[in-house]
Amino acid sequence: MGKLKIIYSSNYILGVIELIKLEGVLFMVIRKCLKCNKIGIYNEGIVHGANGCNGDTIECNISYNDFIILCSISDDNDFFQAMIDLKEKDIIEYNLKMSQFRTQLEQQKASKAQSDTTPKCPHCHSSNIRPISGLGRGASVAMWGAFSKKINKSFECKSCGYTW
């Protein structure tokens, strides 16, 4: 087995990410503080220093990818511990739950992607907008001339009146 070597660390989600290179493979380490029982991403050999805890950490039997999925579902430490316990007691049930969580997250991402395609006002972020008609633009230019706010604009926000 290759020698462990820390190649990158930075603040992230619940602690510190530790990218480790072990025989050319990069992976993340999920650890549990022995003093406060907080589960997160901590450097090996470094105490958990959040909120003055200063507790030692041990490695958890959960992958980084699974932990990120669980973080997307909840930030409750008891939930993380229950999932780790479930993995150790009933791996089939654990895999079933993780599959359900993955499906739920994929559906949320798909739903968000659909709603993200709706044009929004760059000023107030409202989706209550309308295209400026050629007639409306022409009337504004006829009335205000070069001072018209609708020259070279395509949309108008019905909420704040901003045009772009």
Buried b (16+ CB within 10 A) or exposed e, 81-92: eebbebbeeeee
Average pLDDT for residues 37-53, to the nearest whole number? 73
What whole-number distance in Å separates Cα of residue 128 and Cα of residue 90? 50
Q: What are the sequence ranges of the domains in the chain?
A: 5-116, 119-164
| Between 87 and 7, residue with greater pLDDT | 87
Considering just the CA atoms, what is the radius of gyration of the chain in Å? Answer: 26
% residues pLDDT > 90 (the chain): 20
Amino acid at 87: K
CB atoms within 10 A of CB 29: 20
Question: Encoding tokens for residue 59?
Answer: 């490695």
pTM value surpassing 0.75 = no
Integer CA distances (angstroms), 115 to 69, 73, 106, 108, 150, in order: 22, 20, 14, 11, 27
What whole-number distance in Å separates Cα of residue 41 and Cα of residue 46? 11
Best CA proximity match to 84, nearest among 51, 58, 54: 58
pLDDT in tens, 98-121: 999 999 999 988 887 776 677 888
